[in-house]
Structure formats: C-alpha cells, structure tokens
A and B are shown apart, each in its own frame.
Chain A
C-alpha cells in the first residue's frame, strides 16, 4: 500500500473507531442508554430535533451533564497525551521519551498532592488542577535542563534523569501522604490513579483550548521534527533553529501534559504506546504521525474509559491503572526490541 492510501485508510479507521467509541462511551453506564438516543440527544443539544431524541428529560440531562463532558474529556486527554509523547520523542530523537517515563506526571502529582494536603488554603478543585499543571510544566523544564549537556541529550541521561525526578517526586508525595489527614490521603491516592469521573464542561473547555493550541503548534513544527531526526547539526545546516525549536516544543509538551493531567490525574503510557503504534503503520514522518497520534490517543482513551466503567460492575476502575497495566508490558517489549536491534538506543 502506498504511503498516501495508508494514511487515508488509517485516518478513516481511526475516525470511525472514535465516533463509535464516543457513542458507546455515552451509552454505557449504570443507566444504559440506546445509541440512537445518544445521537438524538446530541443532535437536540445542537438544535436539530430528530425522532431519535430521548423521550424523557432525565436521560437528556444525564447525557449532557455527566456523560458528554466525560467523553469529551477522554477524547481531549487522550489526544493531548499522545501528541505530547510524539513531540517529546521527536525532540529527543528517541522513541522511549514519554512525559510519564521522564517524570513529568510525578511532578504533576506532587503539585496536586500539595494542593490537596494544604486543604483550606488551596483546596478548591481549580487549585489542584492549577498546581498539577505547574508541577508538570516545572518538571518538564527541569528534565530538559538536566538531561542536556553540550547541546546534546543522551538517552541514558534522559532515563536516569527520569528516575531521579520520579524518586524525588515519590518522596515528596510520601511526605505529603504522611502529613495529610485520611481524607486527603484518599484523595491523593485516587488522583494518582487517574480518573475522568466528574468531568465538567468548564474543565473540558480549558483542556480543549490548551490541547488545540498544543496540537496546532506541534503540527506547524512537524516538518522541522523530521529534519531533527538527522541530528542537531544536520538539522541546523538545513536551516532549522534547533535550540528555539526545542524550547518551543518542550513548552508544548508541558502544556499538553499539564492540561491532561491537571483534571484527569496520572494516565501513563498513552504518550508512549500511541505514537509508537502509529509510527509502525505510517512511518516516522511527523505531520501524519502527530495527526494520527491525536486521533489514536483519543480512540485509546475513549475505549479505556468504557472499559474502566464496565469491567467491574457497580464500581469504576481508575483509568490510569488500566493504561499502566497495558502500557508497562508494552514498554518492556519496546526495550527488548530496541536492544535486539543493532546499536540499540546509544
């Protein structure tokens, strides 16, 4: 199959999967709602009246106030995390780079925990999100600064930096768990496990804006990411301002990850798994990769959220737990595959 038709096929498949997943995600739950009513309620919300619209207002209310914002959040968070992963891999020239692996998510968790424990002073939901965002952005910049020497980023340094950052953030979290009261502890633990439960439209709006900006910038820079694969020196010889590209990109990663993590908590490995799968199908060219990653991330998280809500009846699995259960082994596989290849990551 040629590259063009392969892109078109994948794009179509992902789009279909996403629409189906969105409808499915809105339909399943404690109150099962037929797919036709989901579509009908959605159309009515847009001002189109059809025969499919739910007869009673309770269903419509449930869909618009609880299910739809949650579905929208899963789509946005998935897209943001996957694109953040693709961008991070592009600027480090390394398919192992992922915001979670290098410790960005732990930084965000630390920020969130700080907000939760400090309680009354900072305890509103907005400030949990705010501090999580700040923690994520701060750690991204820290990792970037620490993993580079002489204008280069060694893979080993990157991963070791991630270990150091994760260890430090873990200790900070432990300290906060230690000083916090039992309610705060519970909240921290569940925040870390990640959940899309209780997403609201105003939160969705914030994440939507940040995600749209981040993805748009990443797409605009896609051609330059391709050149960066040739190495910093050669990219520079081809007219790329490498340092500026890196700084803008690291900010994009920080914003995308921060936005996703702020409201949804830690949802790991999406940024690792999705771009990697897309690269296997499409090849490494970044324009297609970033677009497909956005779609693929949205698809993955939408279905993961459906699974989180339905695997155990009457209870909801934390979605971050699910993605890590799948993502962890995948990461191992990636490492082994890389090692068996000539040269490895060095």
Chain B
C-alpha cells in the first residue's frame, strides 16, 4: 500500500543552517504519528516541508505516491490540511466564517453541498459550537487554537498535519484534541502531530518520531522510542519512564 506521506532524505537549509538533515520516514493512512524533540530540533520545519511549504535542499517528499512538486495548490488543499502555530486572523471574522474557510478548496465541487454539515460537525468536534457567532480576535489563545483546529477538520482531508495543536490548551482540551486526532486516524486519515508532551504522545500516537538537532534520533512505537537512554541523550535531562497504572502506556517524568 502506498504511504500517505513518504519522505526520503529530506534536507532543509536556510542560509548556512541545516534545519532538517536527511530525514526519512513514512506515514500510513490510519496512523497517528507524533513528532517530538527539543526546541529548535526541526520539528516544525520538517512539518512545513511535509506540507509543501518549503523548498527542499535535498531529498524527496511524496503524498499518496506523487511528488509534492507535482501537486497543484487546490488539489493539494483537498488532500492535506495544515494547522500552523500562528492562529491570527486579520479582520474580525466570526468563528463560523473562519471554520467555513476550511471549505474553500472544495468550492465548485459536488462536495461543497456538504459545506454546512462539515462546518457544523467540525465546530462540534473541536468543542467550539458555542463560540460560532463570536469574532475570532476576541477569543482567548486556547479558543483560537480550537477554532483553527475546527477549520482544519472542516477541510476534510485524508492527510492532517498539526503543529503544536495543544500548546495553549488546558489538560481536558489537550486530551480531547489528541482523542480527536486519533479518531481521525482510525477513520483512515494519516495524522502527523508536533507535540512537546511526551506522555500525551505516548498515550495517543501509534508511532513517535524523535527529532534531535535536525536529524531523526528515533522512530517507532511509544514503547520502543520512549526509553530513558534516548530521551536523556536528546533532551540532556534525566528522565524516568514509568507505566501508566490504567493503560500500561509509558509516562515520561523528569528526574527532580
């Protein structure tokens, strides 16, 4: 089966700095991949490369077996949706309008009949239906993040890329967003999420990719990757990995 995202030897340079260095990974449909690593390790840069936003210095990225360079902007927007960390809206659009913008790539196609349903469902899934009439700039950071997530959901793509969707969220909404990401994956989407919270990644991701100084330091199931030796080398901090008493999944704690 063709991988949803296939990256081979992906290298991104800005000036003299190599931000992503020969990263190779596949993401399959139906899979949730968490991208973790210290600040500045190149997680967001790798994600933006996978989204088609950056020119590669070297390497190849394919979505559904087709090189990114062969995708036109509109069909690409119907195949993959991206949530960036930058949740700004220039004018006081309402939440409902912002989420409806996620339907733009489907304009003029039969799928646009489902616009209203898609918007309503996305608002509900991101738990922002009650904000539908509010102006986006009047929202709190966490509300903005969830509305932007709803916009991404409304796009209804088979590949979803989320850059730190939980950064501004309380723990309940963090759990809900990851549960949502996993349900997208279970429904057949390929989901890539950049996240800092290793325990959160362990609880929901099928696989975890650890970035360290522009390179891929580890790739595998949470159990395989979240081991003290690897994490201590990457983060430069002593950690303890224990098992969650309920789920048996790894929980990462710093040694204090």
Binding site for B on A (CB under 8 A): 93-95, 223, 226-231, 233-234, 236-241, 279, 283-285, 341-343
Contacts and interface: CB of A to CB of B under 8 A. Distances in A.
Interface string B75-98: 011100110101011111110011
Interface of B: 48, 51, 53, 73-74, 76-78, 81-82, 84, 86, 88-94, 97-98, 101-102, 104-105, 107, 137, 151, 155
Given A234-B82, A237-B51, A283-B92, 8 more contacts: A94-B90, A226-B101, A237-B53, A237-B82, A237-B84, A238-B101, A284-B91, A342-B137
Contacts of A229: 89-91, 93
A238 B104 contact: yes
Given A93-B90, A231-B86, A233-B86, A239 B101 contact: no
Contacts, number: 73
Contacts of A228: 90
A161 to B, nearest CB: 19
A346 to B, nearest CB: 10
Q: Tell me the interface secondary structure of chain A in the complex.
A: loop
Contacts of A234: 82, 84, 86
Contacts of A223: 104, 107
A220 to B, nearest CB: 13
A230 B101 contact: yes
Nearest to A241: B73
A236 B155 contact: no
Given A230-B89, A231-B88, A236 B73 contact: yes
Nearest to A242: B73
Q: Pick the 8 closest A-B CB pairs, nearest first.
A: A239-B77, A284-B91, A93-B90, A239-B74, A229-B90, A237-B82, A239-B73, A239-B105
B22 to A, nearest CB: 25
Contacts of B86: 231, 233-234
Contacts of B84: 231, 233-234, 237
Contacts of A93: 90-91
Contacts of B102: 238
